[in-house]
Structure 1
Amino acid sequence: MGIDYYGVLQIKRNSSDLDIKKAYRNLALGFNKVKSGAIFSLIAEAYEVLVNPKTRAIFDQYGEEGLKRGVPGPNEFLHAYRFHGDPMKTYSDFFGTTSPFADLLDYYQNPREIYDLPLEGRGFRVKQPAIYHNLYLTLHEIFFGGVKKMKIQRLEYTSPDQSKTKVREKILSIPIKPGIPAGTEIVMPEEGDQNPTQLSADVIFVVHDRPHEHFMRETNDLVTQAQISLQESLLGTMITVCTIDHRTIRVPITDIVHPGYEKVVPGEGMPIVDEPGERGDLIIRFNVQFPPYLPKSSKAMLEKAFYLAKVAGGRDQHELINKMILADKIMRVCPDEQLPPF
């Protein structure tokens, strides 16, 4: 009959992995003075067999003889187990050292200095991690600046000795500089929960732009879209813009509006934080609406106008087109509406 490894470790056959480790630890410490003895080696062998699920399963089914002889498995032959013969290796792997008391002895002989202790252990109050909140501002709030009121809830002291706290609401006044960039972090120092063992955390608000009906901010510039017809894109037009600060401006478009064309109106954008009194630009981008249908006569007139513009080398192209369309309109006047001859 082979060795009963469970009996060696003095545990039951249904013991858990933790039970096996506890048993080995107690026995290894008890026999640590005879580390080279046969009993110490047998304890190490029993532990290594039972702590490994594969070798333990083979031992449970075939005993020590089957474990050390090898047995057929479901897919291949399971080779024989052989103990490596070095109980100190098992001991060292388990305890991390050849002496489980080494760390205690080292601490006793070389105690740590007081400055190695954590700050809390030396009476210092460590600050709590910062608390972040998103602060969404309209473009009007960003343009004019001011003070934004925000309500928060936090723990506050309710006793003079600062031993008790209660959840209370607090209104924070957040300063908004005109033109404050998106992504700016506004720090409200130590407005977090009050705690007798820690310093209150900073509350940090991160600025974000709220979507606007007509404008979008790009750094210090304001961008808007304008809808114009094909005729206006070729012959020019006047764009009316209601600005972010409630003024109405009229922007003449005299250039041909081509794909990618932008009209820049200097100084009508957002205030620049680091340059008081200065502002970014207003950028107008265009969406040209093409007519769904053109009669042949109109196409012929446009074709002739483009031909003349090409012959002229592209100079005064919009004026030529304008003259051709105007002439076409004159020729289409009803005879009854024509002025009588002099």
Structure 2
Amino acid sequence: MPSRDYYSILGVAKDADEDTIKKAYRKQALKWHPDRNPDQKELAEKKFKELAEAYEVLSDKNKRTVYDQFGEDGLKGSAGGGPGGPGGFPGGFPGGFPGGFPGGSFTFTSTNGAGGPGGFRPFTPSNADDIFRQFFGGASPFAGMGMDMDMDDDGPRMGGMPGGMPGGMPSGFFNMAGGMPGINGGMPGSRPAAGSVQRPLPVALEDLYTGVEKRLKVTRKLIDGSTGRHVPTEKILTINVKPGWKAGTKIKFAGEGDEVPGGGHQDIEFVLEEKPHPVFKRDGDNLRATVTVSLVEAVTGFTRSLRHLDGCNVEIRGGANNRPAQPGSEIVLSGQGMPISKLPGKRGDLIVTVQVSLPTTVTEAQKAALRNAFGN
């Protein structure tokens, strides 16, 4: 099998720096991930593995140095040489690396011992999926390594794998200096960061007003100890939404997500979102609503009944006491707003804006009556 050109596989120049190599792998790995290419899975798996291998070598300065001089065959300890230089390691490296590469996964000695000619320990590619997970800090950009949401009991359900990478790259990039933690020459004894999965939790404004219990059915993947494969399992998570919680509130379930290679489980973090309401709009701890009245009502007075978020009716009065309701004026009902979660028993205000609807036509007699009534 001819020696492969890792630079061409990633689509970078031979003098590409570390950042360029990272970006190239990120772009190509996302493009060719088998889960995103179900119609050409065999080709995608092949390219995905090649990309991982190329990245593992070129992102490690020690492996890259060997590859640049001796090619893929030399890197893997076989005879024949490659794009970087002459073949094999008969008797060790020309010019020598007498002490080996500090911090790397290669060892050189002056005698021919186990592990290859000249004491060289051949490179063996790591699992492509492990490389991918390590790169993204243990969490897949595909919505958290296979977790998706449907609705169950008006709450989310996880399972599946949507595409896309909302929110950009997750945190948790590894240190490139000594290879990837836990993968062929990385930091000894280290484990990959399990990361976390973040999901929206849409909640109706009525439920944020009264409080509600949400039961969420989660499908997560655990690793079978005998086969090493991910096995889907289901679990019910319960969230007690407190009255007055605001959009952006985060509810974290530690270790309830997918199990990652090398140990550990992802965290699941739900981020509360407020569903739109047809009548009320939240404004901090206050609620806002609008009532529309006629010109006559604005001048002579009006009464409106609003059905509140808890189902009770609230009476709105305006234009009384010979004080006409001005267009855009506000009627404030103290203590009728949202509960204040940090101050039990306290609520914000309900602020009602008055909108005056003018008639579309006016007769001459009506005009005259208005002039007489208001002295103009």
| TM-score, with structure 1 as normaliser | 0.54
Superposed CA deviations along residues 93-114 of structure 1, whole A, max 9, x for unmatched, are x98xxxx979973863x73399
Superposed CA deviations along residues 104-148 of structure 1, whole A, max 9, x for unmatched, are 73863x733999565424223222232121111011211122321
CA–CA distance in structure 2, aligned partners of residues 124 and 305 of structure 1: 87
CA–CA distance in structure 1, aligned partners of residues 276 and 213 of structure 2: 20
State the 1:190 CA deviation. Answer: 1.5
Q: Does 1:262 align with 2:362?
A: no
> Which residue of structure 2 aligns with residue 239 of structure 1?
304
State the 1:242 CA deviation. Answer: 1.4
Q: Does 1:139 align with 2:130?
A: no
Residues 103 and 186 of structure 1: CA distance in aligned 2, closer, same or farther (over 3 Å): farther
CA–CA distance in structure 1, aligned partners of residues 374 and 95 of structure 2: 94
CA–CA distance in structure 1, aligned partners of residues 349 and 227 of structure 2: 54
Q: Which SS does the other structure have where 1:131 is aligned?
A: strand
Contact 2:202 2:275 in 1 (8 A): yes
Residues 102 and 267 of structure 1: CA distance in aligned 2, closer, same or farther (over 3 Å): farther
> Which residue of structure 1 aligns with residue 353 of structure 2?
285
Q: Which amino acid aligns with 1:297?
A: A
> Which residue of structure 1 aligns with residue 270 of structure 2?
205
Residues 106 and 237 of structure 1: CA distance in aligned 2, closer, same or farther (over 3 Å): farther
CA–CA distance in structure 1, aligned partners of residues 99 and 240 of structure 2: 54
**Structure 1 unmatched runs, 5+:** 1-17, 19-93, 309-342
Q: Does 1:191 align with 2:250?
A: no
CA–CA distance in structure 1, aligned partners of residues 103 and 197 of structure 2: 35
CA–CA distance in structure 1, aligned partners of residues 95 and 331 of structure 2: 76
| TM-score, with structure 2 as normaliser | 0.50
**Structure 2 unmatched runs, 5+:** 6-67, 70-84, 86-92, 106-176
Q: Which SS does the other structure have where 2:311 is aligned?
A: coil
> Which residue of structure 2 aligns with residue 301 of structure 1?
369
| Bigger helix fraction | 1
Contact 1:140 1:245 in 2 (8 A): yes
Contact 1:162 1:196 in 2 (8 A): no
State the 1:251 CA deviation. Answer: 2.1
Superposed CA deviations along residues 158-179 of structure 1, whole A, max 9, x for unmatched, are 55x7955411222111231211
Superposed CA deviations along residues 245-300 of structure 1, whole A, max 9, x for unmatched, are 12112122134333332212111111112222111111212332222333323211
With 234-243 and 117-126 compared, the bigger mean Cα shift is at: 117-126
Q: Which SS does the other structure have where 1:277 is aligned?
A: coil
CA–CA distance in structure 1, aligned partners of residues 99 and 349 of structure 2: 69
Q: Choose which of 223, 230, 248 in structure 1 pairs with 2:313.
A: 248
| Equivalent residue pairs, number | 213
CA–CA distance in structure 1, aligned partners of residues 302 and 296 of structure 2: 9
Superposed CA deviations along residues 282-332 of structure 1, whole A, max 9, x for unmatched, are 121233222233332321121233337xxxxxxxxxxxxxxxxxxxxxxxx
Residues 158 and 175 of structure 1: CA distance in aligned 2, closer, same or farther (over 3 Å): farther
Which structure 2 residues correspond to residues 67-216 of structure 1 after superposition, within 5 A? 105=97, 108=100, 111-112=102-103, 118-120=180-182, 121-158=187-224, 163=228, 165-216=230-281
Q: Which SS does the other structure have where 1:127 is aligned?
A: coil
Superposed CA deviations along residues 60-92 of structure 1, whole A, max 9, x for unmatched, are xxxxxxxxxxxxxxxxxxxxxxxxxxxxxxxxx
Contact 2:328 2:355 in 1 (8 A): no
Residues 230 and 103 of structure 1: CA distance in aligned 2, closer, same or farther (over 3 Å): farther
CA–CA distance in structure 1, aligned partners of residues 278 and 354 of structure 2: 16
CA–CA distance in structure 2, aligned partners of residues 219 and 129 of structure 1: 32
Residues 252 and 107 of structure 1: CA distance in aligned 2, closer, same or farther (over 3 Å): farther
Q: CA RMSD in A?
A: 3.4
Q: Which SS does the other structure have where 1:186 is aligned?
A: strand
Overall identity of the aligned pairs, in %: 30
Q: Which amino acid aligns with 1:262?
A: E
State the 1:212 CA deviation. Answer: 1.8
CA–CA distance in structure 2, aligned partners of residues 274 and 256 of structure 1: 38
CA–CA distance in structure 1, aligned partners of residues 298 and 95 of structure 2: 84
> Which residue of structure 1 aligns with residue 284 of structure 2?
219
Which structure 2 residues correspond to residues 4-43 of structure 1 after superposition, within 5 A? none
CA–CA distance in structure 2, aligned partners of residues 297 and 103 of structure 1: 110
